[in-house]
Structure 1
């Protein structure tokens, strides 16, 4: 992380999150296991060496022995399918690791934006509370001089207390978001990371969303991982079908009986598939394959539904944000005019204080709406498989 004097940038937050995420470490361990399994499944089965001896109980005879070397030829039949299973499992874990990194990166970006906005919002609310405290004190002095009525002074006091309550609630949210960021970055509890100003966000272009949806099955790593998992299970089903054929062992023997006669021969053993025939495994692998197909189609449908829902919500939030920004601009103009009017003695202090308090409240509401829009944009980027920072496909 950056030094204590330098604020931390979004790139540093994302990079540290990728380096310290336990989800990524677990995915990397699963990939190591898949790599080892791929190596193990690529090995040829070992031959079998057998030896037996007989010792005669009568005189005039010698010990007999039998040596045999055999190989399970049927194991070579389903070996290509098992190798394809291991390759598909390896690809699935690679994609699962990509998806874990993808989610962690976008989640780190979302936490960064949330913490930065909450810090800025906390300053605005603290400014509002301090301003209303000053107004309340001035109103109490004016009440003592009988310049204002009691209800005006009480209203100012209530507005100040509400601002303090709002500030306390916001600081609780700020503490929770800071703790979540520290957990993601594996920092000590209570560590306060000073964040640099986040980059100005911009909306995900609608054509980028449409293009990403058209290629969603080929873009999102979790969907690609499900496809690889289905391919793995399909090969398992093929291997189970091949395993129903009888087990065949072929070998050669060399022996000697008790009368010193040496013999050589060929040994063949075949398993008769009368009761089992691997039918149970075939049914199990087939059912699992169907389940994975249903999971993939359901995940794809859920992704389309979620994107449509978030896009609609972003449209509404965007309208609300634009209206809030227009209201804030109008209030800023009104406050500027009112300050001039107050200086000229045309309006009273309660009227000016009310307008200034409303402007600060509007700024807080606008900031909260902007944060909600940003969080929804990050969620949308995760769903369509692009970076939340620059909207480009993540490597």
Structure 2
């Protein structure tokens, strides 16, 4: 009876420490922070990146995953509970007493694979920590890219709007010249077509800028339709070649997604070890205390062994081994893809930089030619259509140069993400 009383006391103490339920109602409507939307001061790129790291849905999702993995690590660190059993028999004849049997047992074999499970849970937590860090790297540089895209599209839209106004003026003058008979109808039609094209280009740019604005609002957790005023970022300049070389040398030891894969492989390796340990027989050891109907008390030891004849955990062993091989192949391929992607972007950047230099040279040449043609037209040496055509070409070249600058800067941002440096100051991300 002392064993029974002690077991009941332990059971009551355990129940007293159980977790309790607390409701958490879902929100009836979305809640939007208004700290940024209410401000009128232009936002810098650092402010946008910082807010993205604090409010990005991707970062918050990764943080929730980290909380879940941390809870799983806690669960994997717990040992199985002992089992308490009790049974009683009531005699059907006079002269006998009720019989009972009390037993307390524990799964001793669970202590064998417990260290491997704990090591696997620790590696899983490390994997999620690296995954969170990789998400933050991507969000930071993606926020910078969206920042640049919004500012660049605004610049290009302003230039295209200027071009549209110019083409409208040209179209009006060509119509007047056609009415006077100074130009042919083909020339007037060309000017009208150029004006319509500029309007279509302006409409497409407005759609692109609206899409980029919506993406930035979503990343910053702002309500749709919020309009932000952004400070112009610095112009594009080359990522130092030394930074690229140094980053590639230590890429496998620094980039969080690769570190997460390595931690995931370590986790799976421990799960494979635990599966191998699980093929040994399951062993339960307990003590019993009982009384039969003749009022004779007995004490004993109960041992239960699972015979691994048909299962032997061989199925789980095969699964964990195949999963480990798959993770090994995934890490190897990811490492190759990382190096290949960096080399490809470096090549694309070299090509874009060459095109950008040529575009700037062409823009300077057109500016000089337009200036000289304007002076010649004032003297009557050049016709007005010739001057207006040069002015249109200059505006179009400025638009093309701005687009190339944006494309080069976005490629630099992607390169910085791949090699693990900040797209703002090219320092290593931490």
TM-score (norm 1): 0.95
The residue number in structure 1 matching 2:239 is 204
- Do residues 320 (structure 1) and 355 (structure 2) align? yes
- Do residues 309 (structure 1) and 337 (structure 2) align? no
Q: CA deviation at 1:83?
A: 0.6
Distance 1:89 1:370 in 2: 42
Q: How does 1:15-164 map to 2 (within 5 A)?
A: 15-164=50-199
CA-to-aligned-CA distance 1:285-313 (integer Å, 9 cap, x gap): 10111111111111111111211111111
RMSD: 1.8
Q: CA deviation at 1:186?
A: 2.9
Find the residue that maps to 1:77 and give its secondary structure: helix
Please identify, of 273-282 and 245-254, the stretch whose mean Cα deviation from structure 2 is larger: 245-254
Find the residue that maps to 1:266 and give its secondary structure: strand
Distance 1:328 1:299 in 2: 42
The residue number in structure 2 matching 1:372 is 407
Distance 1:12 1:143 in 2: 55
Please identify, of 1-10 and 303-312, the stretch whose mean Cα deviation from structure 2 is larger: 1-10
Does the Cα contact within 8 Å between 2:53 and 2:136 map onto a contact in 1?
A: yes
- Do residues 283 (structure 1) and 318 (structure 2) align? yes
- Do residues 392 (structure 1) and 427 (structure 2) align? yes
Q: Structure 1 residues 251 and 330 mapped into 2: Cα distance closer, same or farther (>3 Å)?
A: same
Q: CA deviation at 1:241?
A: 0.6
TM-score (norm 2): 0.87
CA-to-aligned-CA distance 1:28-68 (integer Å, 9 cap, x gap): 11111111111112222211222222232332222222222
The residue number in structure 1 matching 2:221 is 186
The residue number in structure 2 matching 1:222 is 257
The residue number in structure 2 matching 1:268 is 303
CA-to-aligned-CA distance 1:334-382 (integer Å, 9 cap, x gap): 2222222233333222222111111111000111111111111111111
Distance 1:279 1:158 in 2: 75
Does the Cα contact within 8 Å between 2:342 and 2:419 map onto a contact in 1?
A: yes
Does the Cα contact within 8 Å between 2:105 and 2:285 map onto a contact in 1?
A: yes
Please identify, of 11-20 and 33-42, the stretch whose mean Cα deviation from structure 2 is larger: 11-20
Distance 1:27 1:393 in 2: 22
The residue number in structure 1 matching 2:332 is 297
Please identify, of 252-261 and 267-276, the stretch whose mean Cα deviation from structure 2 is larger: 252-261
The residue number in structure 1 matching 2:207 is 172
Structure 1: 5+ residue runs without aligned partners?
Answer: none
User: Aligned residue pairs: how many?
Assistant: 395
Distance 2:252 2:129 in 1: 16
Please identify, of 341-350 and 231-240, the stretch whose mean Cα deviation from structure 2 is larger: 341-350
Q: CA deviation at 1:257?
A: 2.4
CA-to-aligned-CA distance 1:43-101 (integer Å, 9 cap, x gap): 22211222222232332222222222221111111110111111111111111111112
- Do residues 13 (structure 1) and 48 (structure 2) align? yes
Structure 2: 5+ residue runs without aligned partners?
Answer: 1-35
Find the residue that maps to 1:65 and give its secondary structure: strand
Does the Cα contact within 8 Å between 1:2 and 1:8 map onto a contact in 2?
A: no
